[in-house]
A and B are shown apart, each in its own frame.
Chain A
Amino acid sequence: MKCNRLVDAGRRQFLRGGLGATAGAAASVVMGTSEARAERALARVDYPANRLANLADLAVNAPMDVAYPDADSPGVLLKLGQGVEGGVGPNGDVVAYSVLCPHKGWMLSYNDADRTFNCPGHHSRFDAEAGGQQVWGHATNNLPQFVLRVDDAGDIYAEGVDELIYGRLSNTL
């Protein structure tokens, strides 16, 4: 994983709309095995609980490419090394975000020096340590964060999203 070039493989695929088709081939993209079926009649979307990784798989400040709630929604799982609001794990320092810029859907890159997500298209940036707060930019919402849970075995599950993900009018398609 080269920081600042995060999800490069994903970006190339995403621009031509083929991420889902190739997700299985990208070693670092972890797909859940227990995807729940969304109930369209419910007032809110029914999120699947998908295993993204185990705590042991994560190194500090080395983002791991994931996808949630399905293969067409790229994100990263990130261990920050110090606890943050909304963080999980024994140190409260594990977070996950969508990496589609909520402005125009460009793929964000991760800057490991100041722990921000940055958009090459229009120069918006988001703080990984402040709940995805837009530091500066054009998006009208902060970066969607995946709701995480860690089980006794250290397996990390995503089971919700706190904002609308770019490119979909329902977080589960």
Chain B
Amino acid sequence: MGYKRQVDRLPIIPADAKEFNVTCHYCIVGCGYKAYTWPMNKQGGTEPGRNKFGVDLSEQQYQDSPAWYAPSMYNIVRQDGRDVQLVVKPDENCVVNSGLGSIRGARMAENRPSRITGTQQQRLSDPLVWRNGTWQPTSWDDALDLVARVTAQVVTEGSEDDLVVSVFDHGGSAGGYENTWATGKLYFQSMSIRNIRIHNRPAYNSEVHSTRDMGVGELNNSYSDYEITDTIFVVGANPMETQTNLYLNHMVLGMQNGAKFIMVDPRRTVTVHSAEQFAGKENVLHLAINEGTDMVVLNAIMTHIVDNGWLDDDFIANSTFQGGEAVAQDAAHPASLGSLDHAMQSIRTSLDEAAEICGVDAADIARAAEWIAKPHEDGSRRKCASAYEKGIIWGNDNYRTVGAMANIALATGNIGREGGGCCRLGGHQEGYYRPDESVVGRPAEYVDQYLIRGLGGVHHIWACDHHKTTINAAEFKRAHKRRADMVKDAIDAAAGGTREQLVDAIVSAINAGGLFVVDMDIIHSQIGQNAHVILPACESNEMNLTSMNGERRLRLSEKYMDPYGNSRPDCLIAAGIAQNMERVLRDMGQDDYADKFKGYDWETEEDAFMDGFHQGNPEVTYDRLRAAGNNGVQEPVVGYENGQLIGTERLYADGRFDRHGRDDGKALFCASGWRGWQAAGRAREKANHKYWINNVRANIFWQNQFLDQKNDFVQDRFPYPFIEMNPDDMVDEGLNPGDLLEIINDNGVTQGMAYPTASAKRGQVAMVFGSPAGSQGNVTNGVNELNVPDYKHCWGDIRKVSNATRESAGISFKSKEITL
């Protein structure tokens, strides 16, 4: 309890320290930070001339001072082969965060690998190959040769469908334009891989197909729009917890400027409570709906807006489709799309119907509609910035629910306008630049099931850990381990033989149902336990990396330290695989196929950037991004003038919508008709179990929990995954705070720690997602028609496993809600 670092003094950044631009790589917001490095035998002083801040550090610095940094912002790292001192602190001049640090980003320095201070010793330093019953360190040449030989033999004896790939598609750490391009080039250009999936879901698909099909890209406004809007409308998102500085530095300003705040979420989150403090309870409306009924409340709001005529008629006439149905419902489109009138035939829902289904007051739904759309007294239109995330993305009937959200924004003309927007709040930053991926098709293959069914022979995994972040995880883990163990046993039996004999033994095991697993990651992950080859990757700032944040702000986060050990950027690992594939295929006499793996002669990550993103965005170079600093440029980049990249503040400002690829530039409405539980088995599971198991995040480690599994500050707070429960439910189950419990249902079992939460409703528990110490995915199952998972809806029973341990007994179990 109350872990303390016992630091009483920190080295001072000298005036001549090197300075680097850093975009925090953990979450979508991408806060700006500055990294400072200086030699071990130098230090700054308290006199203004002797420190980077130019202030007298012998005096106390006051509130919001740029001239202070916490112990977590300091480390000693390797730079150009030498140990240097490092400080990474929030940048007060970055418009994203204005000097605010988050509990994640402000620990970036501490979460750097250091052989001096001992931080992040879990990081992989060398390639590992399964030999003689364990993972043996080896050279890149040896490891890549084995990967290429087995992969080449399997895809040539069978087909490319036998290579299964799990790979990031995002920006920030484990992603970025350099790395998505390189992996995309490997799997979509050199090869045509269909059995491919993304880090957090079992298929290669969009999480927001519907809004894209409607013509509306999901990141369409600027964070500044939240500051000047009349209403902030959030559905299934928790920005105070998970997009912290978007909330604190933009949404709070909006509330202080008079904006109303609406939240649709079954759970009372810290965002709701915080908004009440900033805006006043009378200006915050929390619609605590029954789980899975978001679409109904959205449809009722839409109906109320239409029936009252609070529409933006000009916008609808000029920017939306007018001719009835434009896209029919089919296997690739879980709802039809078309004009407002067409969609309303399915949408129409009365306030009373919605109140009954959603379990909230009809008057509150009407009030939400008023706050969103009722014109001001002078007749001017209301501005509304709307936002959503996993609550509906990973919710019931993803396609129609996300569509219902975008319907409201279109009907009220709130896209492409100041103070508007209809956006995902996002998880990671974005950084997608890949060759055409249409080989995947739609619906995309449910890759986890493909592997569970015994299909595929080689599995390449890039910074994905299904064991922690997939649905139906319990079954997946069993199947994956069983198949990987077949290959491990074959390798062990072939010990001492030649490389050819080893490859033959592996391929024979694959043909018997085994799976050869290659894992590219920064740490030895849980799914990595099944790997036969492990290739060590490095992170942002151990390489240069470009990404864009939730308002499409593109930055170059600069390299300030060496990759740990012999680890490499993912883009150069992909290049290494391609080069070895070319060599091995040529040796096999497959020259035509080998030729497809040409074009990877990159020395650096910048070469990969120039080969990929730069080709599609010729104005953008590393030098220009470096000059643009932590404020970067908002994509799309449309020019370069007077030494500056010219960006785009918000999308669709001209009223033309193009995300669906239609030539007419007209947005489509989604016929988001309610059909109850979309995924099979939900109603039965709900009826059979006592608790709804919600799936939630925590600001302390969301997006970097894998790095924090040995971090003392974090583990001291949450030694086990928390499961928020109503105290009366805890009494029913014989649980005290900190006790360990199991959640059990037909999908599997998982484990966590009881965390009493007075605001939790009876029968509803909220388990933190993605924990290394307890996978919520073990008990969750079900996808929509397009194989987007519904992580949010599962039900289970609870059983006490153990009294609180020494670790969990001492932590604070007080409310997370502020009391001022």
Which A residues lie at the B interface, using CB under 8 A? 4, 14-15, 17, 20, 44-45, 47, 72-73, 85-86, 102-107, 109, 111, 113-114, 116, 118-125, 127, 129-145, 161-164, 166-173
Contact = CB atoms under 8 A, between A and B. Distances in A.
Interface residues of B, number: 53
Contacts of A20: 60
Interface stretch (B63-71, B349-357, B725-733): B63-71
B75 to A, nearest CB: 13
Interface of B: 1-10, 12, 57-65, 68-73, 100-103, 106-107, 110, 240, 244, 248, 270, 274, 277, 699, 713, 716-717, 810-812, 814-820
Q: Main secondary structure on chain A at its contact with chain B?
A: loop
Contacts of B68: 105, 166-169
- Interface of B, secondary structure class, is loop
B25 to A, nearest CB: 16
Contacts of A114: 814-815, 819
B72 A170 contact: no
B816 A168 contact: no
Given A138-B244, A169-B69, A122 B100 contact: yes
Contacts of A107: 63
A117 to B, nearest CB: 10
Contacts of B240: 123
Contacts of A135: 812, 814-816
Task: Identify the interface centre among A111, A123, A143, A170: most chain B CB within 10 Å of its CB.
Answer: A123
B60 A73 contact: yes
A164 B103 contact: no
Given A132-B2, A141-B72, A105 B65 contact: yes
Given A138-B101, A140-B73, A142-B3, A116 B9 contact: no
A124 to B, nearest CB: 8
A133 B5 contact: no
Given A4-B820, A140-B103, A170-B8, A127 B812 contact: yes
Contacts of B70: 102, 139-141, 164
Given A168-B60, A173-B59, A141 B4 contact: yes
Contacts of B65: 105, 167
A122 B98 CA distance: 13
17 contacts: A4-B819, A72-B60, A85-B2, A105-B61, A114-B819, A116-B814, A123-B277, A130-B2, A134-B103, A136-B818, A137-B103, A138-B103, A140-B70, A140-B71, A140-B110, A164-B70, A172-B8
8 tightest A-B CB contacts, nearest first: A131-B2, A72-B60, A140-B72, A127-B812, A136-B816, A167-B61, A162-B4, A123-B818
B58 A140 contact: no
Nearest to A122: B248
A147 to B, nearest CB: 10
B819 A111 contact: yes
Contacts of B819: 4, 111, 113-114, 116, 118, 125
Nearest to A86: B2
Contacts of A72: 59-60
A85 B814 CA distance: 17
A58 to B, nearest CB: 21
A173 to B, nearest CB: 5
Contacts of B1: 85, 130-131, 133
A169 B89 CA distance: 13
Contact of A104 (B5, B6, B63, B817): B63
A85 B810 contact: yes
Contact of A138 (B59, B102, B717): B102
A107 B820 CA distance: 11
Pick from B2, B71, B699, B817 the residue with the most CB of A within 10 Å. Answer: B2
Contact of A133 (B8, B59, B72, B812): B812
Contact of A168 (B61, B713, B716, B817): B61
